Each structure stands twice: as structure tokens, then as C-alpha cells.
Amino acid sequence: MPTITYIDHDGGERQIEAKNGETVMETAIKNSVPGIDADCGGACACATCHVYVDEAFMEKVGQPEEMEQSMLDFAENVQSNSRLSCQITVSDELDGLKVTTPESQH
């Protein structure tokens, strides 16, 4: 099972064993990782699961699709490595992925 590391805005780290096929958002919610709200449950409707992807994984994670990108454009404190974690599906390739959660999703 791939391991994902969630880093909160204070630098606190949590390593979580993720399931292939679930999203980075779902993995966080089910394991009570703070910093991700995911109000819409993964429908790409609310932009409250914003994370920063570790630069080393940017290529493997890939680029957001148009819908996600336009949601991200309006997120607070957006950076070039911003993604909505409900749109990143866990796979073996992402083993070791590190994402940082923002201070607030609203």
C-alpha cells in the first residue's frame, strides 16, 4: 500500500497507509487528518480540499483538469503546486507522496 505524508501548516507530519483507487482527500478524511474539509465529499464542487503537492511529485501527480484549475484559481493562497486533493487518485506510483495542507480551507 502506498504511503502518503500529510504535513500541516505548522510542519506537523502524519504518515498514512493509503488504499489504491481512493483519493488523497478520502484518505485524509478517513484517517482524520486535519486541514482538509472536503465539504462536497469529492464532487469537485467546493474547493475545500486544497493541498500543496511536494515539488518532487508534481510530475507524477499531473496537471489539474480545466474544472479543477478554474476552482483553484479562486482558492486562498494558491501556488503553482496547488491541487484539489479529491482529484488525485492514489496509486503505487504515488508511494511516498507528500502534501501540505493550508491553514484554512475557507
Partner 1 sequence: MDLSSAENIVVIGGGQAGAQAIQSLRLFGYEGHIALVGDETALPYQRPPLSKAYMKGEMAEDRLYFKPAAWYEDNKVETLLSQRVEKLDRSAREVRLEHGGHLPYDALIIATGSRPRALPVEGMDLKNVFDLRGLADVEHIQPKMIPGQKLVIIGAGYIGLEAAAVARQLGLDVTVLEMADRVLARVTSPVISEFYQDLHKEHGVDIRLGARLDKLKGEGGTVSHAVLAGGEEIEADMVLAGIGIVPNVELAADAGLAVKDGIIVDEDARTTDPRIFAAGDCTVRPLAHYARTGRLESVHNAIEQGKLAAAAIMDKPRPNIDCPWFWSDQYDIKLQIAGLSQGHDTVVVRGDKAAKKFAAFYLKNGRLIAVDAVNSPPEFIASKKLIMTGAVIAPDRLSDTSTSMKEIAAAAA
Q: Around 48, how many Cα atoms within 13 Å sit in the side-chain half-sphere?
A: 11
Subset of 69-98 contacting partner 1 (CB under 8 A) = 70-71, 73-74
Kindly state whether residue 54 participates in binding partner 1, applying the rule CB under 8 A: no
Q: Rule CB under 8 A: choose which of 43, 59, 80, 92 binds partner 1.
A: 43
**What does residue 30 show for φ and ψ, rounded to 5 degrees?**
-70, -25
**Part in contact with partner 1 (CB under 8 A); list of ranges 10-18, 39-47, 55-63, 89-97:** 39-47
Distance CA 94, CA 20 (A): 9
The Cα angle at residue 47 between residues 84 and 12, in degrees rounded to 5: 60
Kindly state whether residue 44 participates in binding partner 1, applying the rule CB under 8 A: yes
By CB under 8 A, name the binding residues for partner 1. Answer: 22, 26, 29-30, 32, 34, 39-47, 67, 70-71, 73-74, 106
